[in-house]
Amino acid sequence: MKNTKKLLPSVVASALIAGTTQAAISGDTVKLGYLADMSGTYRDLAGPNGLKAMEMAVADFGGTVNNAKIEVVSADDRNSPDVASSTVRRWVENDGVDMVGGMVASSVTIATTKILEENNKLGLISGSAASSITNEHCTPNHIQYVYDTYALSIGTPTAIVQEGGKSWYILTADYAFGHAMEADVTRVVEANGGEILGSIRHPFPTPDFSSFILQAQASGADVIALANAGADTTNAITTAAEFGVTQSGQIIAGLVVFISDIHALGTEAAQGLQLTTGWYWDMNDETREWSDRFMEETGTRPTMVHAGIYSSTMQYLRAVEATGSDDAQTVRKHLIETPINDMFVKNGRIREDGRMVHDMYLAEVKTPEESTGEWDLYKIVRTIPGNEAFRPLSESKCKLINN
């Protein structure tokens, strides 16, 4: 009886702490929204399988956090800022969504992060590439997790210029992402002693690249750079092959290329292509184990975006668990203070501008002879350290940085 009395204060204290933690989670539910292109040009990049990656994270976490249920809702943004904005506004203002993940088209992301900021909710962006998202368009309510145009413009163009590809012509998707990529590539090429002979902007999406490829080919540039993504990239590469661009000695540089694109093209068409990636499924035992589980669920290997969605969701749920809160600023502060070490990244860190900094990798597509299987597609050529891969804070225009 004496021992029981001694235990009572600690038991009561634990109960009070648990009650306080539970009360700090709004509505006794942590509600996640998944927003992405589910049916258009970016479907393979994120799409329904990105939703599966988020659901895998929730299942691996156990389905609850601090006794609060975890729920997931999803929507197809149709690559439309208007559709995305109305969806996210309904989610955060009426449906109790705490965090929005996914997000691919940069125009969609820029529109939705404004709504997240207005309502003090959190966005974890894994699909969008425009470096402006954590530069001039930064907010205290979103984090850019996987890659951006600045990082992608470091690896591939630098390597190609150093190997002799001095003159460049850029095919650019005519929206925020493409514009940002064109600006970043121009900066890197010129800094390395190369020159930009010209550029042309194509509508998003574009099914027929014939006229654009012919203009690029006629420029006589050593390198034709594709500042686009998804189906636009594969369509452009296929068209270039049809017109014999590479056979004539010009190089096609895929600036935003994903394993889903290479798989669709095949090693016969894509062999030798160099690209920068933030993650590859066959890098080590840890990446292979998770990728095998993902393939069992989806029938396909994950892109770096799928892996980033899983990782960012897990990090978010761990932050909610650790802080006992789903308040956006409480969670964001914890994420910034906590190093990231998982199957996606080692020693990753989130800066105050919302940029997650981690190593990137220069990869080369294997030849058909080198490839041992359907998804054995990359050779990792070198590691690009995170502090070199991403824009330094000294160059930031983010309103959250005190320069």
Say yes or no: 130 and 168 in one domain.
no
pLDDT at 234 over 80: yes
Query: Is residue 23 in some structural domain?
Result: no
Query: Is residue 400 in some structural domain?
Result: no
Q: Span 90-95, mean pLDDT?
A: 98
Q: How confident is the model at residue 403 (pLDDT cuts 50, 70, 90)?
A: low
β strands within 163-280, DSSP E: 167-173, 195-202, 223-227, 251-254, 274-277
Higher pLDDT, 352 or 3: 352
Say yes or no: 131 and 37 in one domain.
yes
Q: pLDDT tens digit string along 114-124?
A: 999 999 999 99
Q: Sign of torsion, CA 41 43 45 46?
A: positive
Say yes or no: 46 and 95 in one domain.
yes
Say yes or no: 137 and 255 in one domain.
no
- Given 318, 335, 358, the domain boundary residue is 358
Q: How far is residue 359's CA from residue 346's CA, in Å, rounded to a whole number?
A: 8
Say yes or no: 241 and 156 in one domain.
yes
Query: Is residue 398 in some structural domain?
Result: no
- Range in 94-103, 264-273, 275-284, 372-381 the model is least confident about: 264-273
Domain tally, the chain: 2
Q: How far is residue 315's CA from residue 312's CA, in Å, rounded to a whole number?
A: 5
Say yes or no: 228 and 365 in one domain.
yes
Say yes or no: 351 and 366 in one domain.
no
pLDDT at 364 over 90: no
Q: How confident is the model at residue 132 (pLDDT cuts 50, 70, 90)?
A: very high
Q: Of 273, 267, 266, nearest to 245 (Cα)?
A: 273
- Range in 5-19, 304-318, 340-354, 358-372 the model is least confident about: 5-19
Q: What CATH number is given to the structural domain containing 204? A: 3.40.50.2300
Q: How far is residue 398's CA from residue 47's CA, in Å, rounded to a whole number?
A: 29
Q: How far is residue 352's CA from residue 336's CA, in Å, rounded to a whole number?
A: 7
**In this structure, are residues 400 and 358 in contact, taking their beta carbons and an 8 Å threshold?**
no
Say yes or no: 35 and 59 in one domain.
yes
Say yes or no: 261 and 349 in one domain.
no
Query: Is residue 115 in some structural domain?
Result: yes
Q: Which residues of 202-222 are buried (b: 16+ CB within 10 A; e: fewer)?
A: bebbbeebeebbeebbebebb
Say yes or no: 346 and 305 in one domain.
yes
Q: How far is residue 140's CA from residue 160's CA, in Å, rounded to a whole number?
A: 36
Query: Is residue 97 in some structural domain?
Result: yes
Say yes or no: 139 and 158 in one domain.
no
Query: Is residue 14 in some structural domain?
Result: no
Which pLDDT score, from 0 to 100, does residue 159 have? 82
Report CA-CA distances (Å) from 10 to 5, 13, 18, 47, 321: 10, 5, 12, 48, 21
pLDDT at 210 over 50: yes
Say yes or no: 306 and 273 in one domain.
no
Q: pLDDT tens digit string along 149-176?
A: 899 888 889 888 988 999 999 999 999 8
Task: Give the residue numbers spanning the domain of 136.
Answer: 29-147+283-358
Percent share of the chain, pLDDT over 90: 75
Q: Span 18-36, mean pLDDT?
A: 78
Which pLDDT score, from 0 to 100, does residue 10 have? 40
Peptide bond into 48 cis (omega under 30): no
Q: Of 125, 181, 175, nearest to 152 (Cα)?
A: 181
Query: Is residue 212 in some structural domain?
Result: yes
Tokens of 400: 């959250």
- pTM for this entry: 0.85
Query: Is residue 21 in some structural domain?
Result: no
Which pLDDT score, from 0 to 100, does residue 272 have? 79
Which pLDDT score, from 0 to 100, does residue 47 have? 96
pLDDT at 7 over 60: no
